[in-house]
Structure 1
């Protein structure tokens, strides 16, 4: 198994980092920790990571502006070869530039059931509000604090007489269960056929008068009462690929695409020269590009009257 490379950012004890690190040692874990970095060179978590043979980096933010410090950390992450970032008690608000660089590839664990109790003092806030349950959330990081899409949560019952400290201790145990599971699920989604089919479905059904059927066991998309413009091929005839099949102009275009990127583009068996296969399971799919391909393929089979109506609507 090729494991996804993850960098973890911490500021202190690094208990959630340790949970991710130890989970990564399991044979079936799809990720590995390639760097633990901190804005606190004395962070205890750096010692834990180093003892486990994980490269570490510490750089104080003192005396540096936010953007410059984030750029230093970003460079360390990219040098380590990481393609995902996990924040695990990283007590620094990140610059917008840094967040944009890792858009969709940076996760955070937060000790509340988001969207409740963003920021600090989450446990006392839950107690003050007389909540029956507290908990933790893993979410994608966006420019707004603790505001990204929630990927998973665990509820923790608030007990009579709980203090912020006693509740925090139990929530911390839940965090250690939740974070490795969600990170593992998230890093494999781009090679998971179910996820890939879902993304294609959203883009294909956004085309005018589109519908979905099964053809030869494959999800396929066509214009109602008309021709098909896209298929999703999953291990078709044992080829081991998950791919989008779209219409093209013919053998010349097909050959040019394959010559330009033979790993991504291929000639789909039994479909002829009028189609090309585009691998979706390489882990780096540009979904805007895929959307453009689907729209182009739709236009290749759309009745001229329908295509003209769409042109008029676009110009209006």
Structure 2
């Protein structure tokens, strides 16, 4: 199994980093920690990572523009070959440019049940509000603070007499378990047939009068009461691939696509020369490109009354 390479950003003791690291030692864990970085050279988590044989990097942020510091940290991440970033107690607001470059591939853990209590002092705020539960949330990082899509949450009961410190101690147990599970799911998402099919579905069903049926065990998209324009093939006839099947102009285009990029394109069995299969399971997909393929395929079968709806 090829493991996804993860860089972890910390600012302090690194307990969540340690939890991710020790979870990665399991044989079936789909990720590995390749680098631990900090904006504080004295962060205790750096020493722990080094003792465990993990490369470390520290760069104080004082006196540096935010974007420049982010770029210097990112340079180390890329040099380490990391494909994902996990923030684990990293007490820096990241520049929008940096966040944008890692959209969908940077994750954070926050000690509250988001969207409740973004920012600091989360446990104290939950107790003051009289909440029955505190908890933690793992989410994708966006430019807005603690506002990205939620990947998982664990509620933690607030008991009589709790203080911010006692609640924080129990929430930390939950964090250590939740973060590793969510990160493992995230790094395998790009090759998950269910997730890939859902990405195709959301784009196909956005086209005018599109519908979906199951055909030969595949998700099949067509124009309502009309022709089919796309299929999602998952291990079709045991080929071990997940692919989008769309209509093309014919045998010449099919041959040219396969010749130009045989790793991505192939001739789908039993579909003939008017279709091409586009691999979705290679770890990186340009979803704007997939949307364009779907739109073109839809246009190839759409009746005239619908074809004028979209501009191609």
> Considering the TM-score relative to the shorter chain, is it more than 0.5?
yes
Find the counterpart in structure 1 of residue 277 from structure 2. Answer: 277
Quote how far apart the aligned CAs of 1:288 are.
Answer: 1.0
Find the counterpart in structure 2 of residue 153 from structure 1. Answer: 153
Provide the rounded CA distance (Å) in 1 between the counterparts of 2:281 and 2:38.
Answer: 33
Provide the rounded CA distance (Å) in 2 between the counterparts of 1:225 and 1:84.
Answer: 43
Describe how 1:275-314 pairs up with structure 2 within 5 A: 275-308=275-308, 310-311=309-310
Find the counterpart in structure 2 of residue 257 from structure 1. Answer: 257
Post-superposition Cα deviations, 1:102-133, rounded to whole Å, max 9, x if no partner, equal: 01111000000111111111111111111111
- The SS at the match of 1:214 is strand
Post-superposition Cα deviations, 1:154-187, rounded to whole Å, max 9, x if no partner, equal: 0011111111111110001110010000010111
- The SS at the match of 2:7 is strand
- The SS at the match of 2:12 is coil
Provide the rounded CA distance (Å) in 2 between the counterparts of 1:84 and 1:271.
Answer: 37
Find the counterpart in structure 2 of residue 75 from structure 1. Answer: 75
- The SS at the match of 1:188 is helix
Provide the rounded CA distance (Å) in 2 between the counterparts of 1:2 and 1:301.
Answer: 40
Quote how far apart the aligned CAs of 1:305 are.
Answer: 2.6
Describe how 1:160-179 pairs up with structure 2 within 5 A: 160-179=160-179
Q: Do residues 105 (structure 1) and 105 (structure 2) align?
A: yes
Post-superposition Cα deviations, 1:61-111, rounded to whole Å, max 9, x if no partner, equal: 111111100000111111111111100000001001110010111100000
Post-superposition Cα deviations, 1:234-269, rounded to whole Å, max 9, x if no partner, equal: 001111000000001112211221122211111111
Find the counterpart in structure 2 of residue 11 from structure 1. Answer: 11
Find the counterpart in structure 1 of residue 192 from structure 2. Answer: 192
**Equivalences, count:** 312
Post-superposition Cα deviations, 1:291-310, rounded to whole Å, max 9, x if no partner, equal: 110000000111123212x1
Provide the rounded CA distance (Å) in 1 between the counterparts of 2:46 and 2:260.
Answer: 43
Provide the rounded CA distance (Å) in 2 between the counterparts of 1:18 and 1:261.
Answer: 41
Q: Do residues 90 (structure 1) and 90 (structure 2) align?
A: yes
Post-superposition Cα deviations, 1:10-54, rounded to whole Å, max 9, x if no partner, equal: 001000000000111101111111111110111111111111111
- The SS at the match of 2:281 is coil
Provide the rounded CA distance (Å) in 2 between the counterparts of 1:162 and 1:284.
Answer: 46
Provide the rounded CA distance (Å) in 2 between the counterparts of 1:42 and 1:260.
Answer: 51
Find the counterpart in structure 1 of residue 241 from structure 2. Answer: 241
Normalising by structure 1, report the TM-score: 0.97
Unpaired runs of at least 5, structure 2: none
Find the counterpart in structure 1 of residue 125 from structure 2. Answer: 125
Quote how far apart the aligned CAs of 1:149 are.
Answer: 1.2
- The SS at the match of 1:100 is helix
Find the counterpart in structure 1 of residue 230 from structure 2. Answer: 230
Provide the rounded CA distance (Å) in 1 between the counterparts of 2:216 and 2:148.
Answer: 39
- The SS at the match of 2:190 is helix
Unpaired runs of at least 5, structure 1: none
- The SS at the match of 1:7 is strand
Find the counterpart in structure 1 of residue 136 from structure 2. Answer: 136
Provide the rounded CA distance (Å) in 2 between the counterparts of 1:291 and 1:278.
Answer: 12
Provide the rounded CA distance (Å) in 1 between the counterparts of 2:224 and 2:65.
Answer: 56
Structure 1 runs of 4+ aligned residues shifted over 2 Å read none
